[in-house]
Amino acid sequence: MSGTTAIDREFFAKHALSAQRAEEARTIFPGGVTHDARHFEPFGIVVDRAIGPRKWDVDGNEYIDYVMGHGALLFGHSHPYLVEAVSAQVARGTHLGGSSDLERRWAQAIQRLIPSAEKVRFTSSGTEATMMAVRLARAATGRDRLLRLRNHFHGWNDSVFAAGRTSAGNIAANGQPDAMQSLISVFDQTDLTGIAAALASEEYAAVILEPTGYSWGTCPLDPSVPRELRELTDRHGALLIFDEVVTGFRMSRGGAQERIGVRPDLTTLAKILAGGLPGGAVVGRADLLDQISFDAGGGRVAHPGTFNANPLSAVAGERALRAVAEEDPNSIANERAAQLARGLNHTLVESEAPGCAWADTSLVHIILGQDIERPDDGVTWDWDQHGGAQPTLPTTTSEVLWPFRRALLNQGVDLMGMGAIVSCVHTEADIDSTIDSFGAALSDLRREEVL
């Protein structure tokens, strides 16, 4: 594909160096990328540097960034707090080869925000955190089966991966042993009847879910569902695991669990947790986490990991969580996200384009090219508006998604899939400018008859 439409011609002209780099990358990396989510058609931009809400590619194009480190950057890129904390620590040791005050302070910062975090175990990623949470649940209950919800994402480890992620069509379970898959039961996120019947078998170690709906709330979940899951798991001796890798410290200071009012047995955390550096954690009931303790003797759950609680992530994480507790970055990010959703919906109406946008705290989701009701207030899902029923939302087809994303990059805006992850350093002016770019991209799509 080389410039069959005006959008594509502009994309190629503006991104010639990214195209060259992508060619070379294809000879080095499978598919030319280092994360499935970085796959882009026909090639992705190659980013050179980033600061605050902005980033620049190797061709010198400037973008307002809504990838925000895949959700890790509530404070934007390289916030001065974090640069200072991490730079000072680099000079004091990047791996201390032992326990440290830093890891204790980081854990206490979590406990200050998340009351269910009676004990904490750090990992190097969200994937490792969900792997450990499931292992702890299996060890504690003596049961092997796991119940998970369709399309909910918990990283790529074999305990939770793939089964059920079929409708998105982009994650394959090849290489995952049937024996592992057969231990996982998958239910639609609103199928409480099916879930209740399965849990009644008393074979399940745990239920794991993204508590605000799958793929960081791409299809929102009525809070009554996690509340009901709390009751069902209690009744049938299974544990409840909230995967708050994305929602932790974002849906509220104490994550989705604070907002929904449910105390899970175990919670997995990453992203904002580590202040923009790599890191994850399993937190929760002391008796469950204490299975990792050497006091647990022969029944213990082992957990090594070279970079667990590494000093750089510890200082960045502690600093970020202190700011979450004391400075309320969430309110600012939430307001900007609401401004963005309102503006996107207004633009869709004005350009008579089918689709909608909505925001849940600082996460904005966009559906384009599908006839769908827009939120009444232009921002949030009102459950009552739908008679209390869960919406079943269509997704943007790839025939619309790729031209849209190229058109928007041409206009200087980068999204995370079909969503925008908003930080507390995006300004009102950044949001206004993003809405203008969206309008221009829609016009391009209308001209090319993509929409």
Residue ranges that bind ligand PLP, judged by CB under 6 A: 70, 125-127, 130, 153-155, 210, 216, 243, 245-246, 270, 280
Residue 376 and residue 321: Cα distance in Å, rounded?
34
What H or E segment, with its residue span, contains residue 219? Answer: strand 219-220
- Give 208 or 348: the residue with its C-beta nearer to ligand PLP: 208
Phi, psi for residue 239 in degrees, rounded to 5: -95, 155
Residue 443 burial (C-beta neighbours within 10 Å; 0-12, 13-18, 19+): middle
> What SS3 state is found at 430?
helix
The C-alpha atoms of residue 173 and residue 289 are separated, in whole angstroms, by 29
Cβ-contact 357, 366 below 8 angstroms = yes
Beta carbon of residue 130, minimum distance to ligand PLP (angstroms, whole number): 6
Question: Of 204 and 216, which has the nearer Cβ to ligand PLP?
Answer: 216
Measured from the CB atom, the residue of 122 and 216 that comes closer to ligand PLP is 216
Q: Which is nearer to ligand PLP, 103 or 244 (CB)?
A: 244
Distance of CA 434 to CAs 51, 416, 441, Å? 17, 14, 10
> Of 15 and 121, which has the nearer Cβ to ligand PLP?
121
CB of 250 to ligand PLP, least distance (A): 11
**Phi, psi angles (nearest 5°) of residue 116:** -70, -10
**Omega within 30 of 0 (cis) for the link into 42:** yes
Question: Nearest distance from residue 121's CB to ligand PLP, in Å?
Answer: 15
Nearest approach in angstroms of CB 332 to ligand PLP is: 23
Strand bridging mode 266-269 / 280-284: antiparallel
In the complex, the smallest distance separating the C-beta of residue 68 from ligand PLP, rounded to whole angstroms, is: 12
| C-alpha separations of 260 from 144, 224, 249, 387, 427 in Å | 28, 8, 13, 20, 29
Q: Which is nearer to ligand PLP, 155 or 284 (CB)?
A: 155
- Closer to ligand PLP at the Cβ: 256 or 348? 256
Residue nearest to ligand PLP (CB): 126
